[in-house]
Amino acid sequence: MKIGQKNNSLTLVKILEKRSKDNHIIGLFKCDCGNEKEIIISRVRNGYTKTCNSKKHYKERNKTHGKRYSTEYSIWITLKDRCLNKNNKNYLKYSKLGIDDDIKNNFMVFLKEVGKRPSKEHSIDRIDNTNGYFKGNIRWANRSEQQTNRSNSLIVHINDEIFASRVDAAKKFNVSETTIDRWCRGYVDKRIGEKFNKPKQNCYYELRYKK
């Protein structure tokens, strides 16, 4: 690193003559919080050490919004982790979809976009499930709303009427979800040993998000 170069929250102020016990070069770094600290330069360059780790640093960091321990902040961190952390089990899926730079870099942008979490039943949802976490495409949604907004979610067509889910269709016709499924797919009646392959006329499923 060169003097004046910054990595994460640390800026190299001076390269010191002394070395660590294992013979690594030490530098004097200034943190974004204003605190100065002697740190092994290679640890900062490689990203192992990102801040001075002082109480002052975390106090200054949290001044901007004061919501570090809020539910919304925790969800924002989780959202970013699945998009950016290669060790996250969902990384391959979400990294391809992407995340808005402003949302990624600024919690307050995220909070302004979605607002306060309405209830414990709500979690972050993408309005268009084929796109990532971008402005205009994220919202709070309850479990029922999310179940009808998955990549494999089905739209139900019955007699020229369109329903967002089997639940909605079942309520409309006052029947069970199983009945809706039989109308749209056909079924096998094992009780009498007869096979019904054809669905009911004008009843079928359609993928919400066509591949």
Cβ proximity of 81 and 95 under 8 Å: no
Distance CA 206, CA 211 (A): 11
* Residue 192: per-residue pLDDT: 64
Please tell me what DSSP assigns to residue 99: B
CA distance 106 to 207: 35
Tokens of 11: 């800026």
Phi, psi torsion values for 66, nearest 5 degrees: 65, 20
Query: pTM higher than 0.75 for the full model?
Result: no
42 Rama sector, left if φ>0, alpha if ψ -120 to 50, beta otherwise: alpha
pLDDT, averaged in runs of 10, over the chain (211 residues):
89 92 92 88 90 69 68 93 91 90 91 92 86 91 71 80 84 89 80 68 80 59
Question: Which of 96, 162, 163, 102 has its CA nearest to residue 138?
Answer: 102
For the chain, give the number of residues: 211
How far apart, in Å, are the Cα atoms of 169 and each of 89, 156, 181?
35, 7, 10
What is the rounded CA–CA span in Å between residue 32 and residue 125? 33
Choose among 24, 44, 133, 122: nearest CA to 83.
133
Q: In this structure, what token pair is assigned to residue 186?
A: 């056909």
> Which amino acid belongs to residue 116?
K
pLDDT of residue 193: 61
CA 159 to chain CA centroid, nearest Å: 37
- How many Cα atoms within 13 Å fall on the side-chain side of residue 56? 10
* DSSP H or E segment with residue 55: helix 55-63
- Distance (Å) of CA 173 to CA 144, 158, 176: 19, 10, 9
On whether the CB atoms of residues 172 and 161 are closer than 8 A, the answer is yes
β-strand pairing of 36-40 with 123-126: unpaired
- pLDDT the model gives residue 48: 87
pLDDT for the residue numbered 208: 72
